[in-house]
């Protein structure tokens, strides 16, 4: 079953491969957090009981119960501090996944799709203290509701997001079929700089054109071609073939980044860009 588009984030890697991630919503993340709290403080409880029992025996031997138990409480407080501030930081910084996230099949990544590092993990977890204010993660939930990647404050500052699944969906660039004819290559611009939005829109159309009627496909291709024709001064009688040639030259031959033209009124955004596609 296809996932709803409004939970997808599309990122293009430097190798010009498009990755699609499904972002995790507040409910799933809350359940993962509950699991992490149980694991974290379960460990704290076991360690604390072990310390208390060991120090109680030591106090009996030395006859200095008060001083020894004070020392044990100091150790327990250190353990609780470490659990609160290091548990998520180390799990996420080193693996991208805490035990709770593993159980719910979640992963923390950078908004560019790259793995999270220790620096970003530290930043997002330090700011958890602001997300929990004033109570019950109210600030964090409000922040998640106001952005398309469901990022809490810590995520926004650290440039991270939480996705579903350990591996993103991967879509290789389309191959041109049939190959370009000599007369097409003669008139095709040598460099076709398309931005991410335009490439995603054209690829979406080319992948779905077989499901469209000829008239509808030609209509959509003509709409997509209008801003490109004005920019490159190139168009063959077949608008769909023209789009395929431009896409192939931009994606499979090597290209540079184009201007963000698709964000303008005449661009491709309104037609075919997935709602939450974003530049990585």
- pLDDT at 199 (0 to 100): 80
- pLDDT at 190 (0 to 100): 85
Tell me how far apart the alpha carbons of residues 140 and 128 are, in angstroms, rounded to a whole number.
8
- pLDDT at 53 (0 to 100): 81
pLDDT (tens digit per residue) in 195-242: 777 887 888 788 888 888 888 888 888 898 888 888 888 888 898 998
Percentages (nearest 5) of helix, strand, coil residues in the chain:
60, 10, 30
Q: Mean per-residue pLDDT for 115-126? A: 90
Of residues 105 and 2, more confidence is placed in 105
- pLDDT at 173 (0 to 100): 65
Check: CB of residue 10 under 8 Å from CB of residue 200: yes
- What band does 62 get if pLDDT is binned at 50, 70 and 90? low
Of residues 107 and 148, more confidence is placed in 107
Of residues 111 and 6, more confidence is placed in 111
Strand, helix or coil for residue 145: helix
DSSP secondary structure string for all residues of 160-183: EEEEEEEEEEEEPPPPPSSPPPHH
Peptide bond into 134 cis (omega under 30): yes
């Amino acid at each position: 079953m296809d996932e709803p588009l409004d939970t997808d984030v599309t990122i293009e890697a430097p190798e010009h491969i498009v990755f699609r991630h499904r972002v995790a919503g507040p409910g799933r993340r809350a359940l993962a957090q509950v699991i992490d709290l149980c694991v974290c403080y379960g460990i704290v409880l076991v360690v604390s009981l072990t310390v208390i029992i060991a120090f109680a025996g030591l106090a009996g031997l030395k006859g200095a119960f008060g001083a020894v138990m004070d020392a044990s409480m100091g150790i327990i407080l250190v353990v609780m501090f470490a659990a609160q501030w290091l548990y998520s930081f180390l799990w996420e910084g080193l693996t991208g996944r805490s035990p709770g996230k593993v159980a719910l099949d979640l992963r923390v990544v950078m908004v560019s799709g790259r793995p999270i590092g220790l620096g970003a993990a530290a930043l997002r977890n330090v700011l958890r203290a602001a997300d929990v204010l004033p109570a019950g993660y109210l600030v964090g939930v409000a922040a998640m509701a106001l952005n398309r990647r469901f990022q809490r404050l810590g995520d926004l500052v650290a440039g991270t997001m939480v996705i579903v699944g350990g591996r993103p969906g991967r879509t290789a660039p389309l191959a041109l079929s049939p190959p370009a004819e000599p007369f097409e290559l003669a008139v095709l611009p040598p460099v076709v700089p398309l931005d991410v939005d335009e490439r995603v829109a054209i690829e979406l159309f080319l992948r779905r054109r077989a499901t469209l009627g000829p008239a509808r496909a030609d209509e959509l291709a003509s709409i997509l071609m209008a801003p490109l024709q004005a920019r490159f001064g190139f168009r063959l009688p077949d608008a769909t073939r023209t789009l395929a040639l431009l896409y192939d030259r931009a994606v499979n031959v090597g290209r540079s980044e184009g201007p963000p033209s698709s964000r303008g009124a005449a661009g491709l955004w309104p037609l075919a860009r997935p709602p939450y596609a974003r530049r990585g």
